[in-house]
Structures are given as C-alpha cells and as structure tokens.
Structure 1
Amino acid sequence: MTPLVFIDGDQGTTGLEVRHWLAGRDDLRLLQLPAEHRKSAAHRAEALNDCDVALLCLPDDAAREAVALVRRPGVRVIDASSAHRTSPGWVYGLPELGAAQAERIAAARRVSNPGCYPTGALALLRPLVDAGLVPADHPLVIHAVSGYSGRGRAGLEDHEGAGVARALPFQVYGLGLNHKHVPEIQHHAGLAHAPVFVPAYGHYRQGIVLTIALHLRLLPAGVTAATLHAALLARYAGQAFIEVQALAEDAEAQRLDPQALNGSNRLRLAVFSQERTGQVLLAAVFDNLGKGAAGAAVQNLALMLGL
C-alpha cells in the first residue's frame, strides 16, 4: 500500500516547503488536517497514529509533545526541530555523515533532521576530524550567514511584511555564544570542545554561506589545503547531493553566493588558501530551506520508505 505521511506543522516555514517538495508525487499519500483541526490535540494525535511516517515541522517543545502522542508502534517519525538531535534512540538525519549513516536512517524508527547551520559545518568538519587532519581539540570558529527565512515566520514578517522598511540589511546574532546548534555541531563532528559559532541573517530570503578558517601551523605536520581538499573529495565521492568544488587557482576572483543552490537539496563545499600566510578557508553553500531543512527531510523520508 502507498505509504501515508502526516506533516505536523505544515503551515510553518519548513512544513510549507516540505509540502511543496512532495506535491504531485504518486509514490506516497499526504494526510492533511482541515484548518479547524490543526491545533486540536485529539485530531493531531489521531493523525499521528494513523500515518506511516510523521514528519514534525514544529518548535522544540511542540515536537516533544507530538512524539509523546505517538502510541502506535509502527509509526516512524522524522523530527525537523532541534529537540532530539543529540538524544539517545534517535538517528541523526544527515545521510552523508558517515559510510553507514544512510543505512541507519533507512532502518530507523526515529530520525532527527539536522539543523541548517550544522549541515554545512558537519559536512566540512566531520571528514577532516575522522581523518585526523583537524584534531578533535582544535579551537574552531564557525561563521555563517543565512537568509531571513531561517528565523521562520518572524523573519518573513520582518523582511516581507509591514515592517520591511525597518528590516536590517545584515544582523549578527547569538552574541552570548550559546546558540542551540553548538552542542549538535560538537557532538556529531566529534569535537572535544564547543566551537565558537557566529551566525548572521542577511536581507535575502534563503541560502547560506558558512565558513571555517584554519591556520595550517596549528594542524598536524604536513597538512595542506590540498590534503584537506582531498579528504573532502574522498568522503563525498559518488554522493548525489554534495559536491566539492575544485581548488581555486585564482581564489581572489571567486565569490560565494549564498543563493546559488536555492530550491535544491545540493550542498557545495570549497577550500580556499593563501600559501604565504598558511591560512585556509573552508566554505559551504546551500539552501537553508533545502538541504538545510525541507530537502533533507524529504531525502530522509525517501530513505526510510525505500523510495
């Protein structure tokens, strides 16, 4: 029988995107609640237990409540919130994280979708930590700029609604150095210490550029930009959604466009370097609503349903 999927929170930013990505497919069915029932716990509980896969596009507390409403053992859950990203019993939903991660997701009953920023940070860091090229205790600083849709409805209202005239063109936030994505990055990258994470929003709807700067003199002897690049190439060879850009011969002429992969589930990685100073810049470009949210959820759904 064609699998039945219920999107709990299908009117939010991520939920709407997931609906868009799944529209018109005939290999699954979508269970949707009428508008008057969307906030009814009883109706939501019924839908959560009638479906084959529940895809939660909810705030953290609401996602925890939704999981508690699932009683039928056969229901599988994909949680797009940050509520379960380091929780025991949940499989982390980044299929490219390691050699067997896609298989773990395919067999899982509970999958936690990665955060948007961690998707880029982990795609860059995990292969390098695994290979011993970046030590687990290395002091790391991660900087990322996202489109304002990363703030959800509040971001859309500020930049597209009545307050658009007052919208800031650029805003750095998380200045308490306590962003909720930091534990997720540290845990799944295998880092001994929390990285410094500096996020920002730009005055554009969607897309992320994330960068991590490295000093080669602080890395193990013999590590070069080419070594780091080769490790990324080896990790992602044959992956459908992650590409590694060639080492730039003229990096000064390069530009990173955060919107370059919008509307897709693709993630582009790059390595830039300055031989004179021994400095390297790792970079990731992707859509915060694509590979960073809805696209990743649909990718995990396909793995779990064997589609």
Structure 2
Amino acid sequence: MVAEVLADVLAAKVFIDGEAGTTGLLIRELLGARRDVEIVSIDPARRKDAAAKKDLLAGVDLTILCLPDDAAKESAALVASLGSRAPKVLDASTAHRVAPGWAYGFPELAEGQADQIRAAQFVANPGCYATGAIALIRPLVDAGLLPPDFPVTINAVSGYSGGGKSMIAEYEARTAPDFEIYGLGLEHKHMPEIQHYGRLSRRAIFVPSVADFRQGMLVSIPLHLDTLPGKPTGADIEAVLGKRYADGSFVRVVPAAEVAGERGKLEAESLNDTNQMELRVHANEKHRHAVLIAKLDNLGKGASRAAVQNMELMLGL
C-alpha cells in the first residue's frame, strides 16, 4: 500500500499533445494503466489557446507531440520559450528527426544512443519504415560491409493503420484496394532520417506499399553479395547484425537455422502489439544473393510503443 501511494505521489506528469490521432490514442492507452505516469490533458475548447497550452506545459515533466509537422514545430517553439520551466519533449512527427539539437529516439541505433536519449531535452521518435531500414543498414555501414555510397534499394509493406484515420476508414469501409505501392515520386518523408542515421552518402531508392491488414510491417533490402567489399556471405552479415543487437532487449536477429525453417516465407503480423523487432538474413550462396528483412509492428516499435520506450528513458522510469 505504501509503495502504491509513493508511486502516485512521484508519478511523472505527461501531456500528449494530439492525443486524438492513431499514435496518440495508443500511447494514451499504454500509459493509462501505469501508476508511475499521470496523463495531463487540456480542455478541448482551449486546445488552440497558446496561453493555456503554455501554462499546462510549464507544469508537466514531458510532452509527447502527436501532431502534423507544422503544429509540432509550433509546440516545440512554445516549449523552448519556457526556459527553465520547459518540460522534455518527445516528438512523434517527422518535423525534427534530423534537426540539430534533437536526439534520435532509436535506443538500439549504436552504443551510447540510449544515454543520449536519457540526457536529452528534445527527442525525435523515429519513423516506422526508418526504424526497420536503419536497423539493417547502420551496422553494416559501421562494419565496412556496406559502403556509404552503395546503391541501396529498400522495399516495404505496412498495415493500413500507418496511413492515419482517413486510410483506416477507407480500408474498414472496404473502399481501398487490397494492395498498393505508393510514394512513387520517390520523396517519402522517412528518407532523410534513413540516409542520415544509416550513414549513407547516396540516397537510397525506397518503395513503400500498403496492404489490407491493420498492423504489421516488413522492410526488405536486397543485396548482390559479390558487389560488396570483401564479398561477405550471408553468415558474415548475420554476425555483424547479431553483434550490434546482442543484448536482445527489443531487437532480435533471427538465426539462420530458424530462418531456414520458415521455408522462404514470412508474414508481417506476428509482432503486433509488441515493441519487438526481428531482423533476418535470407541468403542464397549459390547465386550470391541476400535479402535482409526487418519485421515490426508499425504502431509498436514503429510508433507508439517506441515512444513509450523513449519516454521511460527520458524520465528515468
């Protein structure tokens, strides 16, 4: 009983700015069951009142921005104007992912990244596709297996919940196609962070798609192994990934024997409602080909649950 009372007294105050969106709703649901977090809300009638929001922000420990990019920039500027009374900021939009002064909220990115997130006042939550792509690319670039100027191609498929309320409504009303490729202008909003945090000097070609399932994501990168420095094998690539994610907390490299047991097939939904991500290397040494695949929940490790992981680091929970 004493512990419960202390938890209530010491609960961190968190304001979800934009809690009515898909990401915000799930974050609110995840935090609602916790005793170490108190969710603070603004009167809906004063949601666009800058003075009211400023007063609220001055009284919380952290705000999570689940807003369109321009609105996220306005809220971040409002926080900055508070000086010593400013809370920490976790931005789930695209607005600040490569901005100076913002830590990138992918704790598994590299050694010391989780400590950067802990110490930062401003943290940008990664994009869903970017989380899978960077998880595969960055360790290989760091290890010298993948040159920064290599012509990388990224293919991905997501559940329709990644498209927000309008896309969800279309799929649930059965007015959307079962599958479609999109972003064919090759200007997807996740590309800047993929290039920056993947340490790529050459912009990758990224082809996203959406299919008729609500949650889940597969991000795949095909490689001609003989075009890489040192002509690595699939086992070499798996070893580099395995070393980077050896702690296995939220990112797991699936061993080759388990991959072989899947008989060349992979579905997208088995990690739904978790903060887990799995990485696989499908290699054919006869043809010297490999396909690297990241599986995650686009609303989990790709959005809301990743935000909760970052919040815990930022608040020391």
| Range into which the TM-score falls when normalised by the shorter chain | over 0.9
3-state DSSP of counterpart to 1:250: helix
Please point out which of 195, 200, 205 is paired with 1:186.
195
In the TM superposition, residue 36 of structure 1 has moved relative to its aligned partner by: 2.7
Distance of 1:286 and 1:147 partners within structure 2: 11
In the TM superposition, residue 105 of structure 1 has moved relative to its aligned partner by: 0.1
Give the structure 2 partner of residue 230 of structure 1: 239
In the TM superposition, residue 252 of structure 1 has moved relative to its aligned partner by: 6.9
1:30 and 2:39 correspond: yes
Query: Unaligned 5+ residue runs, structure 2?
Result: 1-9
Distance of 1:165 and 1:250 partners within structure 2: 36
Please point out which of 51, 68, 80 is paired with 1:42.
51
Please point out which of 99, 102, 105 is paired with 2:117.
105
Please point out which of 154, 157, 165 is paired with 1:142.
154
- Which is worse superposed, 71-80 or 6-15? 71-80
1:51 and 2:63 correspond: no
Please point out which of 181, 190, 195 is paired with 1:172.
181
Give the structure 2 partner of residue 131 of structure 1: 143
Distance of 2:286 and 2:221 partners within structure 1: 19
Distance of 1:111 and 1:64 partners within structure 2: 13
Give the structure 1 partner of residue 287 of structure 2: 277
In the TM superposition, residue 47 of structure 1 has moved relative to its aligned partner by: 2.0
3-state DSSP of counterpart to 1:68: helix
- Structure 1 pair 153–274 and aligned structure 2 pair: CA distance change class (3 A): same
In the TM superposition, residue 159 of structure 1 has moved relative to its aligned partner by: 1.1
In the TM superposition, residue 32 of structure 1 has moved relative to its aligned partner by: 1.4
Distance of 1:262 and 1:34 partners within structure 2: 32
In the TM superposition, residue 156 of structure 1 has moved relative to its aligned partner by: 1.1
In the TM superposition, residue 46 of structure 1 has moved relative to its aligned partner by: 2.4
CA contact (8 A) 1:256 1:285 kept: no
Give the structure 2 partner of residue 10 of structure 1: 19
- Which is worse superposed, 82-91 or 237-246? 237-246
Please point out which of 60, 65, 71 is paired with 2:69.
60
Give the structure 2 partner of residue 303 of structure 1: 313
Give the structure 1 partner of residue 267 of structure 2: 257
3-state DSSP of counterpart to 1:137: coil
In the TM superposition, residue 287 of structure 1 has moved relative to its aligned partner by: 0.5
Distance of 1:250 and 1:304 partners within structure 2: 39
Distance of 1:156 and 1:46 partners within structure 2: 34
Q: Under a length normalisation based on structure 1, what TM-score does the superposition of the two structures give?
A: 0.96
Give the structure 2 partner of residue 207 of structure 1: 216
Q: Under a length normalisation based on structure 2, what TM-score does the superposition of the two structures give?
A: 0.93
Count of aligned pairs = 304
Q: Deviations over 1:228-282 (max 9, x none)?
A: 0000100001131001101146367142221110000000000001112100000
Query: Unaligned 5+ residue runs, structure 1?
Result: none
RMSD: 1.3
CA contact (8 A) 1:96 1:239 kept: no
